[in-house]
Amino acid sequence: MSLHTVPNWLTMGRILSLPLIIGLASFPSRGFGIAAAVVFSLAAITDILDGYIARRTGQVSDFGKLVDPIADKIIVAAAFIMLVHLGRAPAWIVALIISREFAVSGLRAYAGSTGVIIDARLMGKVKTTLQILAIICLLVNFSLWGFPFKEVGWILLIAAFAATIWSGYEYFRDYSASLKDTGSKD
Please report the pLDDT score of residue 35 as a whole number: 97
Residue 1, in any domain of the structure: no
Please report the pLDDT score of residue 26 as a whole number: 93
Please report the pLDDT score of residue 63 as a whole number: 78
pLDDT digits (tens, 9 = 90+) for 50-68: 888 888 988 888 778 788 8
pLDDT digits (tens, 9 = 90+) for 99-136: 999 999 999 889 888 888 887 789 989 999 999 999 99
Please report the pLDDT score of residue 183 as a whole number: 60
What DSSP string describes the chain?
A: --S-SHHHHHHHHHHHTHHHHHHHHTS-SHHHHHHHHHHHHHHHHHHHHHHHHHHHHT---HHHHHHHHHHHHHHHHHHHHHHHHTTSS-HHHHHHHHHHHHHHHHHHHHHHHTT------HHHHHHHHHHHHHHHHHHH-SEETTEEHHHHHHHHHHHHHHHHHHHHHHHHHHHHHHHHHHT---
Mean pLDDT of the chain: 90
Number of domains in the chain: 1
CATH number at residue 108: 1.20.120.1760
pLDDT band at 4 (very low <50, low <70, confident <90, very high): confident
Please report the pLDDT score of residue 186 as a whole number: 56
Residue 95, in any domain of the structure: yes
Residue 109: domain span: 6-182
**pLDDT tops 60 at residue 77:** yes
